[in-house]
Amino acid sequence: MLLTVDVGNTQTTIGLFAPDGSNITCWRMPTLHTDTSDSLRSRLFGYFAMDGCDFGYVADAAVASVVPVLTRAWLRCFQRMLRHDPLLVGPGASCGMPLAVKNPEGVGADRIANAVAAAHTYGTPVIVVDFGTATNIDVVDQNGAYRGGTIGPGLMLSADALFARAAKLSSVPVENPEHALGDSTEAALQSGLVIGAAAQAEGLVARIKRELDAPNATVVGTGGLARTVSKATDLFDAVDPDLTLRGIREIWCWQRGKNRDDNRR
């Protein structure tokens, strides 16, 4: 089995895949910058025990991380648990997709994984909107090349900043309101946050489609708040919460096949 880890700034998602590529289970935990390799190992064993899984069947791991200090901690964790290095997705790791951007080394590991999984699952051209700590849009063109995208503040980041700086506003449930025209402070906040995030995504995707000359590009939503935002728009052809984890697995498969080919030479 393969264990995939997506380390985001706010949450870390872990996926366990069977040899045939089917997803056995997923776990989510808060990303704590103070975590050590020992604490990560303890959490992993806890998740496996909770769901009755046996870590002894895990043959390899792949990690995509945007938090450098935790990249090192996960590396040490798996070195002890697997007795070899996991695959680290990111700069320097071939992903099987051309990165047609000015600085490929600067592209986040999660964005690469999203692009690879979206192209593999939905074909090209494809546009991914990831609602995480940041709201990222990533684009794969008609030729299967990664072309970049946009990065903006995430919905919850915007909400936290608003609640912290506006003395008369308090936290509200982040859910889609019935109408864009809010008839109460709570409804107005929900409209501004959720429908506002949807409208921003609609506008950016429309511009990207024009620049890419790809009016029929598939649009995929992912990330922790994708389902919430999708209720406020008809933008998405698919909502795929596990996209990043599958992208990490796809890159691992590419690397495994590439290494096999190299060994045959």
With a cut of 90, say whether residue 48 has pLDDT above it.
yes
Number of Cβ within 10 Å of residue 250's Cβ equals 23
What pLDDT, in 10s, does the model give residues 72-92? Answer: 999 999 999 999 999 999 766
Judge if 108 and 137 occupy the same domain: yes
pLDDT of the residue at 169: 65
Q: Which of 66, 89, 112 is the last residue of a domain?
A: 89
Token output for 238: 């698919």
Judge if 154 and 229 occupy the same domain: yes
Whether 145 contacts 126, CB under 8 Å? no
Confidence of residue 59 (pLDDT cuts 50, 70, 90): very high
Is the residue at 163 inside a domain?
Answer: yes
Is the residue at 95 inside a domain?
Answer: no
Average pLDDT score over the chain: 91
Judge if 232 and 157 occupy the same domain: yes
What pLDDT, in 10s, does the model give residues 122-157? Answer: 999 999 999 998 999 999 999 999 999 999 999 988
Q: Which of 45, 64, 89 is the last residue of a domain?
A: 89
Is the residue at 208 inside a domain?
Answer: yes
With a cut of 60, say whether residue 261 has pLDDT above it.
no
Judge if 222 and 125 occupy the same domain: yes
Arithmetic mean of pLDDT, 48-62: 93
Judge if 115 and 63 occupy the same domain: no
Token output for 44: 């992993």
Confidence of residue 168 (pLDDT cuts 50, 70, 90): low
Q: Which CATH number do you get for residue 23?
A: 3.30.420.40
Q: Higher confidence at residue 264 or residue 203?
A: 203
Q: Which of 20, 38, 85, 110 is catalytic?
A: 110
Domain that holds residue 43: 2-89
Token output for 166: 């506006």
What are the strands, taking DSSP E only, across 90-227?
A: 126-131, 134-140, 146-153, 218-222
Judge if 142 and 79 occupy the same domain: no
Percentage of the chain modeled with pLDDT above 90: 78
Q: Which of 62, 89, 116 is the last residue of a domain?
A: 89
Is the residue at 117 inside a domain?
Answer: yes
Judge if 37 and 164 occupy the same domain: no
Judge if 84 and 108 occupy the same domain: no
Whether 119 contacts 139, CB under 8 Å? no
With a cut of 50, say whether residue 265 has pLDDT above it.
no
Is the residue at 31 inside a domain?
Answer: yes
Is the residue at 188 inside a domain?
Answer: yes
Is the residue at 25 inside a domain?
Answer: yes
With a cut of 60, say whether residue 260 has pLDDT above it.
no
Judge if 116 and 81 occupy the same domain: no
Give how many domains the chain has, as a whole number.
Answer: 2
Residue with tokens 């684009």: 139
Contacts of 48 (CB under 8 A, 6+ apart): 54, 55
Q: Is 110 a catalytic residue?
A: yes
What pLDDT, in 10s, does the model give residues 7-42? Answer: 999 999 999 999 999 988 999 999 999 999 999 999
What pLDDT, in 10s, does the model give residues 217-234? Answer: 999 999 989 999 999 999
